[in-house]
Amino acid sequence: MIDWSLYVITDAKLSRGRSHLEVIRAAIAGGATVVQYREKEGTTRQMIGEARALRELARQAGIPFIVNDRVDIALAVDADGVHVGQDDMPAPLARKLMGPGKIVGVSVDNLEQALQAEEDGADYVGAGPIFATPTKPDAAPPIGLEGLAEICRRVSIPVVAIGGINERNAAAVIAAGAAGVAVVSAIVAAPDVEAAARRLREITDTARAR
């Protein structure tokens, strides 16, 4: 069973000049339960090197390491899984390439996409954006807590909420039925990454216990 509570996604532009390794090491120390490597601008060689280092960190911590979009990078470093968007490689093909023992996640922004992802064999969906987010200016309109709750009710696989989530609204996201929160700026851009991760983890754990 995977603990999806605090799913941390890398972003080089938001990390205040810190390396992915430095940020993720601190996030794990603060309680991150899943790590995703997302890098859009690096060379393939650079990405393999960074992903391999992050995979080792996650492996030492006993948490899943997932690569965004790039199935080739995920395979090259023996990642635990891959996450694909609606315009990326189709989930069934990602599953075929990754193999049955790996994690395949799919980004969705409505119920129809979530149901399709489940039918396609996704292990979880990343639903959002829940709230407006500056991290992805080209993202779809926010689905809000009601849209999230509907997806959570209708699919049987875990739903990880993403988009504009921070310590002020994370509890409401869990209350809506999400298995966890996926965050970028709330942790990666924080002055103290470990403290930010610890606070968010406490909030999600408390909300789930209610």
> Rounded to an integer, what distance in angstroms lies between the CA atom of residue 37 and that of residue 32?
13
Beta bridge partner(s), residue 178:
none
Separation between Cα atoms, residue 16 and residue 8, nearest integer Å: 16
DSSP class of 88: S
Encoded tokens for 185: 């700026």
- Can 45 be counted among the known catalytic residues? no
Residue 191 CB neighbours (<10 A): 7
Catalytic option among 25, 38, 70, 201: 38
The answer to whether 107 is a known catalytic residue is: yes
Out of 107, 185, 198, 199, which one is annotated catalytic? 107
Q: Which of 18, 52, 59, 136 is catalytic?
A: 136
Q: Judge whether 16 counts as a catalytic residue.
A: no
Cα gap 207→210, rounded to integer Å: 5
Catalytic residue numbers read 38, 107, 136
